[in-house]
A and B are shown apart, each in its own frame.
Chain A
Amino acid sequence: QVQLVQSGAEVKKPGASVTVSCKASGFTFTNYFFHWVRQAPGQGLEWMGQINPTGYGTIYAQKFQGRVTMTKDTSTSTVYMELSSLTSEDMAIYFCARDSNYYAPDVWGQGTLVTVSS
Protein backbone atom coordinates (compact mmCIF):
# COMPACT_ATOMS: atom_id res chain seq x y z
CA GLN A 1 0.00 0.00 0.00
CA VAL A 2 0.95 3.64 -0.41
CA GLN A 3 2.91 4.73 2.62
CA LEU A 4 5.68 6.90 3.97
CA VAL A 5 7.73 5.54 6.85
CA GLN A 6 9.91 7.95 8.79
CA SER A 7 12.96 7.34 10.93
CA GLY A 8 12.75 7.15 14.70
CA ALA A 9 12.85 9.76 17.41
CA GLU A 10 16.01 11.81 17.88
CA VAL A 11 17.56 13.60 20.84
CA LYS A 12 20.06 16.30 19.97
CA LYS A 13 22.06 18.92 21.83
CA PRO A 14 21.68 22.62 21.05
CA GLY A 15 23.80 23.59 18.09
CA ALA A 16 23.78 20.12 16.59
CA SER A 17 22.14 18.96 13.36
CA VAL A 18 19.45 16.35 12.84
CA THR A 19 18.53 14.33 9.77
CA VAL A 20 15.11 12.75 9.40
CA SER A 21 14.44 10.21 6.67
CA CYS A 22 11.20 9.30 4.93
CA LYS A 23 10.99 6.10 2.89
CA ALA A 24 8.26 5.86 0.27
CA SER A 25 6.62 2.68 -0.95
CA GLY A 26 3.60 1.59 -2.95
CA PHE A 27 3.93 4.24 -5.66
CA THR A 28 6.40 5.62 -8.19
CA PHE A 29 8.73 7.81 -6.15
CA THR A 30 9.87 10.02 -9.02
CA ASN A 31 6.33 11.04 -9.95
CA TYR A 32 5.77 13.16 -6.84
CA PHE A 33 7.13 16.12 -4.91
CA PHE A 34 7.52 15.77 -1.13
CA HIS A 35 6.82 18.29 1.61
CA TRP A 36 8.26 18.62 5.09
CA VAL A 37 6.02 19.99 7.83
CA ARG A 38 6.69 20.38 11.53
CA GLN A 39 4.59 20.81 14.64
CA ALA A 40 5.97 22.13 17.91
CA PRO A 41 4.34 20.88 21.14
CA GLY A 42 0.81 22.26 21.43
CA GLN A 43 1.24 24.34 18.28
CA GLY A 44 -0.02 24.26 14.72
CA LEU A 45 1.43 22.89 11.52
CA GLU A 46 4.32 24.74 9.89
CA TRP A 47 5.36 24.20 6.26
CA MET A 48 9.14 23.94 5.91
CA GLY A 49 9.73 23.23 2.26
CA GLN A 50 9.46 20.76 -0.58
CA ILE A 51 11.71 18.69 -2.82
CA ASN A 52 11.37 17.44 -6.37
CA PRO A 53 12.80 13.91 -6.48
CA THR A 54 13.46 13.99 -10.21
CA GLY A 55 15.86 16.91 -10.21
CA TYR A 56 17.57 19.26 -7.91
CA GLY A 57 14.56 21.41 -7.16
CA THR A 58 14.10 22.35 -3.54
CA ILE A 59 12.10 25.24 -2.19
CA TYR A 60 12.37 26.25 1.43
CA ALA A 61 10.25 28.50 3.59
CA GLN A 62 12.11 31.74 4.17
CA LYS A 63 12.28 31.04 7.90
CA PHE A 64 14.43 27.94 7.34
CA GLN A 65 16.63 29.06 4.46
CA GLY A 66 20.28 28.57 5.30
CA ARG A 67 19.51 26.03 7.98
CA VAL A 68 17.54 23.29 6.22
CA THR A 69 18.62 20.93 3.47
CA MET A 70 16.26 18.51 1.74
CA THR A 71 17.73 15.71 -0.32
CA LYS A 72 16.64 12.48 -1.92
CA ASP A 73 17.96 9.05 -2.80
CA THR A 74 16.05 7.77 -5.79
CA SER A 75 17.63 4.31 -5.52
CA THR A 76 15.95 3.75 -2.14
CA SER A 77 12.88 5.98 -2.66
CA THR A 78 13.85 8.02 0.37
CA VAL A 79 13.80 11.74 1.06
CA TYR A 80 15.78 13.38 3.83
CA MET A 81 15.49 16.59 5.80
CA GLU A 82 18.51 17.96 7.65
CA LEU A 83 18.12 20.86 10.06
CA SER A 84 21.21 22.46 11.52
CA SER A 85 22.04 24.78 14.43
CA LEU A 86 19.26 23.33 16.53
CA THR A 87 17.74 25.28 19.39
CA SER A 88 14.96 24.46 21.82
CA GLU A 89 12.55 26.12 19.40
CA ASP A 90 13.22 23.29 16.93
CA MET A 91 11.74 20.72 19.29
CA ALA A 92 8.84 19.36 17.29
CA ILE A 93 7.33 16.46 15.42
CA TYR A 94 8.55 16.50 11.84
CA PHE A 95 6.30 15.08 9.13
CA CYS A 96 7.05 14.23 5.52
CA ALA A 97 4.16 14.20 3.08
CA ARG A 98 3.69 13.32 -0.55
CA ASP A 99 2.26 16.01 -2.77
CA SER A 100 -0.87 14.94 -4.60
CA ASN A 101 0.25 16.76 -7.76
CA TYR A 102 -2.56 19.18 -6.96
CA TYR A 103 -0.72 21.62 -4.71
CA ALA A 104 -1.48 19.70 -1.53
CA PRO A 105 -0.06 16.83 0.51
CA ASP A 106 -2.17 13.70 0.33
CA VAL A 107 -0.14 10.98 2.05
CA TRP A 108 1.61 11.62 5.36
CA GLY A 109 4.39 9.93 7.26
CA GLN A 110 3.84 9.00 10.87
CA GLY A 111 6.01 11.81 12.19
CA THR A 112 9.40 11.93 13.90
CA LEU A 113 9.87 13.56 17.28
CA VAL A 114 13.00 15.67 17.58
CA THR A 115 13.99 16.67 21.10
CA VAL A 116 16.65 19.32 21.67
CA SER A 117 18.15 19.21 25.12
CA SER A 118 21.52 19.80 26.71
Chain B
Amino acid sequence: QNVVTQEPSFSVSPGGTVTLTCGLSSGSVSFKNYPSWYRQTPGQAPRTLIYTTSTRSSGVPDRFSGSILGNKAALTITGAQADDDSEYYCLLYMGRGTYVFGPGTKVTVL
Protein backbone atom coordinates (compact mmCIF):
# COMPACT_ATOMS: atom_id res chain seq x y z
CA GLN B 1 0.00 0.00 0.00
CA ASN B 2 1.30 3.40 -1.00
CA VAL B 3 2.03 5.59 2.00
CA VAL B 4 2.04 9.40 1.92
CA THR B 5 5.12 11.00 3.42
CA GLN B 6 5.71 14.41 5.00
CA GLU B 7 8.52 15.87 7.06
CA PRO B 8 7.69 15.54 10.78
CA SER B 9 8.65 19.11 11.63
CA PHE B 10 10.18 22.37 10.45
CA SER B 11 11.28 25.54 12.19
CA VAL B 12 11.19 28.90 10.45
CA SER B 13 12.00 32.40 11.59
CA PRO B 14 9.40 35.15 11.33
CA GLY B 15 9.63 36.54 7.81
CA GLY B 16 11.44 33.45 6.59
CA THR B 17 10.53 30.92 3.92
CA VAL B 18 9.83 27.23 4.39
CA THR B 19 8.91 24.52 1.89
CA LEU B 20 7.03 21.44 3.03
CA THR B 21 6.82 18.38 0.82
CA CYS B 22 4.38 15.54 0.27
CA GLY B 23 5.59 12.34 -1.33
CA LEU B 24 4.69 8.73 -1.90
CA SER B 25 6.56 5.74 -0.50
CA SER B 26 6.32 4.16 -3.94
CA GLY B 27 6.31 6.39 -6.99
CA SER B 28 5.95 10.09 -7.70
CA VAL B 29 3.30 12.64 -6.86
CA SER B 30 1.92 14.37 -9.94
CA PHE B 31 -0.90 16.76 -10.79
CA LYS B 32 -3.05 13.64 -11.32
CA ASN B 33 -2.99 13.16 -7.53
CA TYR B 34 -4.65 16.61 -7.23
CA PRO B 35 -2.51 17.49 -4.19
CA SER B 36 -4.17 19.72 -1.61
CA TRP B 37 -2.93 21.26 1.62
CA TYR B 38 -4.56 22.01 4.97
CA ARG B 39 -3.58 23.86 8.10
CA GLN B 40 -4.85 22.90 11.53
CA THR B 41 -4.35 24.41 14.96
CA PRO B 42 -5.18 22.44 18.11
CA GLY B 43 -8.89 22.13 18.81
CA GLN B 44 -9.91 23.51 15.44
CA ALA B 45 -11.19 22.05 12.21
CA PRO B 46 -8.71 21.99 9.33
CA ARG B 47 -8.57 24.94 6.98
CA THR B 48 -8.08 24.36 3.28
CA LEU B 49 -5.10 26.27 1.88
CA ILE B 50 -4.35 24.87 -1.58
CA TYR B 51 -6.14 22.51 -3.99
CA THR B 52 -5.30 21.01 -7.39
CA THR B 53 -1.59 21.46 -6.68
CA SER B 54 -1.40 25.25 -6.69
CA THR B 55 -4.83 26.95 -6.46
CA ARG B 56 -5.29 28.96 -3.27
CA SER B 57 -8.58 28.50 -1.50
CA SER B 58 -10.77 31.55 -0.94
CA GLY B 59 -9.25 34.01 1.51
CA VAL B 60 -5.86 32.31 1.71
CA PRO B 61 -3.03 34.87 1.58
CA ASP B 62 -0.61 34.74 -1.31
CA ARG B 63 2.32 33.93 0.97
CA PHE B 64 1.08 30.33 0.59
CA SER B 65 1.90 28.65 -2.71
CA GLY B 66 1.73 25.10 -4.00
CA SER B 67 3.75 23.29 -6.64
CA ILE B 68 5.27 20.03 -7.77
CA LEU B 69 8.98 19.84 -6.92
CA GLY B 70 10.65 16.86 -8.43
CA ASN B 71 8.58 13.85 -7.48
CA LYS B 72 6.71 15.51 -4.62
CA ALA B 73 4.02 18.09 -4.02
CA ALA B 74 5.22 21.14 -2.14
CA LEU B 75 3.76 23.91 -0.02
CA THR B 76 5.86 27.03 0.36
CA ILE B 77 5.23 29.65 3.00
CA THR B 78 6.97 32.92 2.12
CA GLY B 79 7.28 35.55 4.82
CA ALA B 80 6.18 33.31 7.68
CA GLN B 81 4.08 34.91 10.39
CA ALA B 82 3.51 33.90 13.99
CA ASP B 83 0.06 32.52 13.26
CA ASP B 84 1.53 30.13 10.67
CA ASP B 85 2.68 28.09 13.67
CA SER B 86 0.44 25.05 12.96
CA GLU B 87 0.22 21.50 11.72
CA TYR B 88 0.09 21.13 7.93
CA TYR B 89 -1.39 18.15 6.12
CA CYS B 90 -1.37 17.18 2.48
CA LEU B 91 -4.09 15.10 0.84
CA LEU B 92 -3.59 13.05 -2.31
CA TYR B 93 -6.16 11.57 -4.65
CA MET B 94 -5.21 7.92 -5.17
CA GLY B 95 -7.72 7.04 -7.87
CA ARG B 96 -11.11 5.28 -7.85
CA GLY B 97 -12.50 7.99 -5.61
CA THR B 98 -10.11 7.38 -2.75
CA TYR B 99 -7.84 9.78 -0.90
CA VAL B 100 -5.04 9.56 1.65
CA PHE B 101 -3.74 12.19 4.07
CA GLY B 102 -0.10 12.59 4.89
CA PRO B 103 0.98 12.29 8.53
CA GLY B 104 1.39 16.04 8.89
CA THR B 105 4.25 18.49 9.38
CA LYS B 106 4.49 20.62 12.52
CA VAL B 107 5.73 24.09 11.59
CA THR B 108 7.15 26.18 14.41
CA VAL B 109 7.69 29.89 13.87
CA LEU B 110 10.38 31.22 16.21
Contact = CB atoms under 8 A, between A and B. Distances in A.
Interface of A: 35, 37, 44-47, 50, 57, 59, 61-62, 95, 97, 100, 102-111
Contact of A102 (B38, B46, B51, B98): B51
If over half of B's interface residues share one DSSP class (helix, strand or loop), that class is named, otherwise mixed; here it is: strand
Interface hub of B45, B48, B97 (most chain A Cβ within 10 A)? B45
B48 A105 contact: yes
A58 to B, nearest CB: 9
Contacts of B87: 44
21 contacts: A37-B46, A37-B101, A44-B89, A44-B101, A45-B101, A50-B99, A57-B97, A59-B97, A62-B98, A97-B46, A100-B48, A100-B57, A103-B36, A104-B91, A105-B38, A105-B91, A106-B51, A106-B58, A108-B46, A108-B48, A109-B45
If over half of A's interface residues share one DSSP class (helix, strand or loop), that class is named, otherwise mixed; here it is: strand
Contacts of A105: 36, 38, 46, 48, 91
**Top 10 closest pairs, chain A to chain B, by CB:** A103-B34, A104-B36, A59-B97, A104-B51, A108-B45, A45-B101, A44-B104, A47-B99, A103-B93, A106-B48
